């Protein structure tokens, strides 16, 4: 068996001189902790997105040319619609396995963004963003926000009623950008909303080529930076130190584990795509600018933006009769930029506040950084409450909670709840630390008693306080 490996290894090394790099990579160490897998889930979802996306691109027609639908989905038979929407109906009904691939693609997008957010939370609460990993953190954030845009363009391309409503909002939000809003949306859409046909080919090339290339590049750089600095690790034993990493080598230990995770992710995504319906576009019908429907919701990862747009009081900045800053700017542009800004500057902010300029290869347990953990929980709660309000109309339908009451409760709650959570979390962290300390003392006392008993040869264990 091994004889067969010698030849290719020699062939590759003699031609690429890559043996030292390969040798080193094979024994690259991965600290063993479940929470480190979240980023990998995102990576494998991305691979599924590329694979299913290539398949969809072979059938999708990015054209707004009007056509009449005649196909197996009879409720829309004879309906006038764009070629884009028709081709997605065909993918769903006329090509075998087309619906499976489309739904898997959509599920993979939702899981992709979800796992990035979970990964971000893990990195935040363990302080893994600290020196020397700030660049990895920044690239991860850019990745996340690029993923938002990529997902938005993805479901906008379909040209069903919901995607059209989403585009209208995107147009309104773009238009609200002070000074350059008008020229900007005219440049992007090619004409006032709904824009020229050329807008669809722009959106298409962005969704299937430009942004995926950007995402792939960012993922590559992100991983290269992780490799260059190694993972952080928890201080599990005295061997885990600031200077020495303890872990499982890529080969043979980590490779089968990671591949197993990849197959599990792919398998679950295909099961979701097969068994759980997502975005049944045929139910929404084609979009026209004068059409709208109640209870419209975007994909989950844009829920925080619709929440912010809905929560914002009626308020434009005006001088006399002239609008300077229209309302959608607050929820649609300022809010996400503020969240991005806070997260992006956090490594430097924390360094300034704690005056800690050291290199950190050891990950914190959240309880050991009470202020950071408390801030993280409060900030997360703030964003999550705004996100939750995006579904207020659904909460009304489901539970009969008056939309109006919810509006005022949320307008106050988004400020009070995070503030309360900040103090509660900090207190909880201190409490947990104290409990750890007491337990450690108890353990030390037991050991001491054991030592004495061994020395004296008799005696009973006395439990500490």
Footprint (CB under 8 A) of other proteins, residues 259-278: 259-264, 266-275
Residue 181 binds other proteins (CB under 8 A): yes
**Minimal distance, residue 410 CB to other proteins, in Å:** 13
Out of 168, 206, 334, 344, the residue judged to bind other proteins by CB under 8 A: 168
Dihedral (Cα; 201, 203, 208, 212), 10-degree rounding = 150
Nearest residue (CB) to other proteins, 151 versus 286: 286
Burial of residue 11 (number of CB atoms within 10 Å: 0-12, 13-18, 19+): exposed
Shortest Å, Cβ 194 to other proteins:
6
Pick the binder of other proteins from 103, 136, 156, 163 (CB under 8 A): 103
Task: Tell me which residue has tokens 């979009």.
Answer: 287
- Beta carbon nearer to other proteins, 66 or 451: 66
Q: Does 65 bind other proteins (CB under 8 A)?
A: no
Sequential DSSP letters for 377-426 = HHHHHHHHHHHHHTTHHHHHHHH---HHHHHHHHHHHHHHHHHHHHHHHH
The three-class DSSP label of residue 234 is strand
User: Distances in Å between the alpha carbon of 94 and those of 59, 91, 117, 273?
Assistant: 11, 6, 36, 17
| Binding test (CB under 8 A) with other proteins, winner from 316, 334, 371, 446 | 316
Residue carrying the six token digits 């705004």: 386
Q: Establish if 372 lies at the interface with other proteins (CB under 8 A).
A: no
339 prior amide bond cis, ω within 30: no
Single out the residue of 127, 247, 336, 370 in contact with other proteins (rule: CB under 8 A). 247
Q: Sign of torsion, CA 183 188 191 193?
A: negative
Count of beta carbons in the 10 Å neighbourhood of residue 64: 20
Asked whether position 404 contacts other proteins by CB under 8 A, the answer is: yes
Least distance CB 171 / other proteins (angstroms): 5
Structure tokens at 74: 């009879």
What is the smallest separation between the CB atom of 231 and other proteins, expressed in angstroms? 10
Distance CA 308, CA 329 (A): 10
Binding segment (CB under 8 A) for other proteins, from list 138-146, 364-372, 398-406, 439-447:
398-406
Q: Which of 15, 321, 355, 357 binds other proteins (CB under 8 A)?
A: 321
For other proteins, give the closer residue by CB, 45 or 104: 104
Least Å from the CB of residue 393 to other proteins? 7
**Would you call 70 helix, strand, or coil by DSSP?**
coil
Q: How far is the CB of 444 from other proteins (least distance, A)?
A: 27
Least Å from the CB of residue 370 to other proteins: 26
96 scored as a contact of other proteins (CB under 8 A): yes
Position among 58, 179, 456, 460 found at the interface with other proteins (CB under 8 A): 179
**Number of shown-chain residues binding other proteins (CB under 8 A):** 102
Q: Does residue 408 bind other proteins (CB under 8 A)?
A: no
- At 205, list the tokens: 């090339």
φ, ψ at 68 (rounded to 5°) = -115, 135
């Amino acid at each position: 068996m091994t004889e067969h490996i010698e030849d290719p290894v020699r062939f590759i090394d003699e031609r690429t001189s890559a043996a030292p790099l390969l040798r080193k990579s094979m024994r690259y160490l991965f600290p063993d902790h479940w929470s480190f897998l979240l980023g990998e889930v995102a990576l494998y979802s991305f691979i599924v997105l590329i694979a299913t996306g290539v398949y969809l691109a072979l059938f999708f027609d990015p054209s707004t040319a009007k056509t009449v639908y005649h196909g197996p989905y009879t409720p829309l038979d004879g309906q006038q619609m764009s070629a884009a929407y028709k081709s997605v109906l065909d993918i769903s009904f006329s090509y075998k396995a087309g619906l499976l691939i489309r739904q898997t693609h959509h599920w993979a997008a939702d899981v992709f963004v979800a796992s990035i957010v979970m990964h971000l939370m893990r990195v935040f609460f363990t302080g893994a963003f600290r020196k020397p990993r700030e660049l990895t953190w920044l690239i991860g954030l850019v990745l996340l926000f690029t993923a938002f845009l990529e997902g938005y363009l993805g479901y906008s391309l379909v040209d069903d009623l919901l995607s059209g409503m989403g585009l209208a909002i995107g147009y309104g939000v773009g238009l609200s950008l002070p000074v350059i809003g008008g020229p900007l949306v005219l440049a992007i859409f090619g004409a006032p909303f709904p824009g020229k046909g050329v807008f669809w080919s722009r959106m298409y090339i962005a969704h299937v080529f430009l942004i995926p290339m950007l995402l792939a590049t960012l993922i590559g750089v992100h991983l290269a930076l992780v490799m260059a600095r190694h993972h952080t690790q928890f201080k599990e034993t005295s061997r885990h130190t600031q200077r020495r990493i303890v872990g499982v080598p890529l080969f043979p230990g980590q490779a089968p584990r990671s591949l197993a995770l990849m197959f599990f992710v792919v398998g679950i995504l295909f099961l979701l795509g097969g068994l759980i319906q997502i975005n049944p576009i045929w139910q929404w019908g084609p979009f026209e600018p004068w059409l709208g429907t109640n209870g419209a919701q975007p994909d989950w990862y844009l829920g925080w933006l619709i929440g912010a747009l809905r929560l914002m009081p009626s308020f434009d900045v005006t001088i006399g009769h002239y609008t300077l800053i229209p309302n959608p700017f607050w929820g649609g542009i300022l809010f996400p930029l503020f969240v991005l800004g806070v997260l992006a500057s956090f490594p430097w902010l924390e360094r300034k506040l704690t005056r800690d300029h050291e290199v950190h290869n050891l990950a914190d347990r959240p309880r050991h950084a009470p202020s950071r953990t408390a801030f993280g929980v409060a900030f997360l709660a703030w964003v999550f409450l705004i996100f939750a309000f995006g579904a207020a109309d659904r909460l009304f339908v489901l539970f009969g909670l008056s939309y109006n009451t919810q509006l005022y409760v949320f307008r106050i709650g988004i400020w009070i709840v995070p503030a309360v959570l900040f103090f509660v979390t900090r207190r909880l962290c201190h409490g947990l630390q104290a409990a750890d300390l007491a337990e450690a003392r108890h353990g030390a006392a037991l050991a001491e008693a054991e030592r004495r008993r061994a020395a004296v040869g008799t005696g009973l264990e006395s439990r500490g306080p």
